[in-house]
């Protein structure tokens, strides 16, 4: 299976904001922002989600919004944040969203 990913110039701010507007997706992106490639299972463990099917929709929204790359690897999918594409397209947006989420966590 191959997934469709938007080209960098096709990433739209409304798609990024929509993708990051759900708390589970935002939490997943915070994990991916630590860098590197993660398998779906490791992200689910950090988030405390036990059912892979719970995340299928969320991965699709993040992928189609241009926020992540998702590539099959054996029985798993590998994920990585499209930080360089997002930073080039919308400088500072991802940092602002992630730091705002961290501030919300600290005060909430």
pLDDT at 49: 87
pLDDT at 68: 98
Which strand (E) or helix (H) includes residue 80? strand 76-81
On the question of pLDDT at 102 being above 80, the answer is no
pLDDT at 50: 80
* Nearest alpha carbon to residue 61 among 2, 5, 1: 5
Residue 6 has a CB neighbour count (10 Å cut-off) of 16
* Nearest alpha carbon to residue 40 among 4, 77, 1: 77
pLDDT at 52: 79
Sequence-ordered alpha helix ranges (H) in the chain = 13-20, 23-32, 40-47, 52-64, 83-89, 93-107
Give bridge partners of residue 76 from the DSSP assignment.
Answer: 73
**Domains and their CATH numbers in the chain:** 12-102 (1.10.10.10)
pLDDT in tens, 10-50: 999 999 999 999 999 999 999 999 999 999 988 988 988 88
- Judged by DSSP in three states, 90 sits in coil
Structure tokens at 80: 């990585």
pLDDT at 103: 65
- pTM of the full structure: 0.89
- Residues 82 and 16 sit within 8 Å (Cβ to Cβ): no
Residue 2 has what DSSP assignment?
A: -
pLDDT-based confidence at residue 53 (cuts at 50, 70, 90)? confident
pLDDT at 106: 55
């Amino acid at each position: 299976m191959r997934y469709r990913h938007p080209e960098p110039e096709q990433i739209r701010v409304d798609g990024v904001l929509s993708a990051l507007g759900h708390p589970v997706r935002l939490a997943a992106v915070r994990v991916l922002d630590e860098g590197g490639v993660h398998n779906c299972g490791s992200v689910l463990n950090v988030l405390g989600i036990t059912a892979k099917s719970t995340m299928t929709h969320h991965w699709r929204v993040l992928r189609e919004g241009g926020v992540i790359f998702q590539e099959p690897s054996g029985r798993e999918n590998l994920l990585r944040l499209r930080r360089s594409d997002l930073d080039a397209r919308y400088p500072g947006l991802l940092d602002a969203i992630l730091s705002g989420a961290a501030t919300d966590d600290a005060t909430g």
